[in-house]
Amino acid sequence: MPVTTLFFDLDGTVSNNFDGIARCLNYALERMDYPLLSDDEVLPFVGPPFRESLPAAFPGIDVEHALVLYRERYEHTGWQENALYHGIHDAIRALHLQGFTIALCTSKPRIFAERIIDHFELGRYFDGVHGPEIDGRFDRKTDLLEHLIGHYAVAPHNAVMIGDRDKDVEAALHVGAHSLGVLWGFGSHDELHGAGAKRIIATPAELIHTIHSLA
């Protein structure tokens, strides 16, 4: 059966928001008297929800207070410290014109994801922008993608989850969708392959051909 529906991750797949994430995370940590993180130390926090990654790295941390501080900076400045990956706009536009249903499935809070998609003028190509709510609903990507499979009334084998981290692959496998790993973001080939990605590509230019080859 042909693929009809594409679920894109945001950070590391559509746009590179590493600087914004790193600066906002360190803003929160500094105000809570935790040590600042280097770029290499920030990397594991890009992708998974902070409600999972922060307690793992900082046992006993007040996660909800950290999130308030993080969003304090992110809402005003952090979301703009961001850039589209080269070629991703053209690829998404072409897929839209070819008739695919396209939706964002991100671990970034929905209110910020919507702002970023609008900022980059991609909203016209997306049928929906979806992410966790501020209260933590849909924090886990597996839960969000499972919800979206029902929301869009698509059979899992007609859907593709496109992303750069193991959590994207795991969500696809959880619902029975195709997984397409991308290497221009924050995850390595070993990470994606180890999670079970069926296809892994190196550039946005490969998206269209690869998606059409899935069946």
Please give the chain's pLDDT, 215 residues, in tens. 699 999 999 999 999 999 999 999 999 999 999 999 999 999 999 988 899 999 999 999 999 999 999 999 999 999 999 999 999 999 999 999 999 999 999 999 999 999 999 999 999 999 999 999 988 889 899 999 999 999 999 999 999 999 999 999 999 999 999 999 999 999 999 999 999 998 999 999 999 999 999 96
Domain 18-80 has CATH 3.40.630.10: no
Strands 178-182 and 159-163: parallel
What's the pTM?
0.94
Domain 5-16+83-213 has CATH 3.40.640.10: no
CA angle 71, 79, 42 (to 5 degrees): 75
Q: Where along the chain do its domains lie? A: 5-16+83-213, 18-80
27: Cβ contacts below 8 Å, ≥ 6 apart: 69, 70, 72, 73
Q: Find the largest Cα–Cα distance for the chain.
A: 54
Query: What's residue 1's pLDDT?
Result: 67
166 part of the active site? no
Distance CA 210, CA 200 (A): 9
- Classify 133 as helix, strand or coil: coil
User: For tokens 């941390």, what's the residue?
Assistant: 61
Question: Cβ(214)–Cβ(3) under 8 Å?
Answer: yes
b/e code 88-127 from CB counts within 10 Å (16+ = b):
bbebbeebbeeebbbbbbbbbbbebbbbbbeebebeebbe
Catalytic residue among 9, 11, 139, 164: 9
- The amino acid at 169: V
75 burial via Cβ count (<10 Å: 0-12, 13-18, 19+): middle
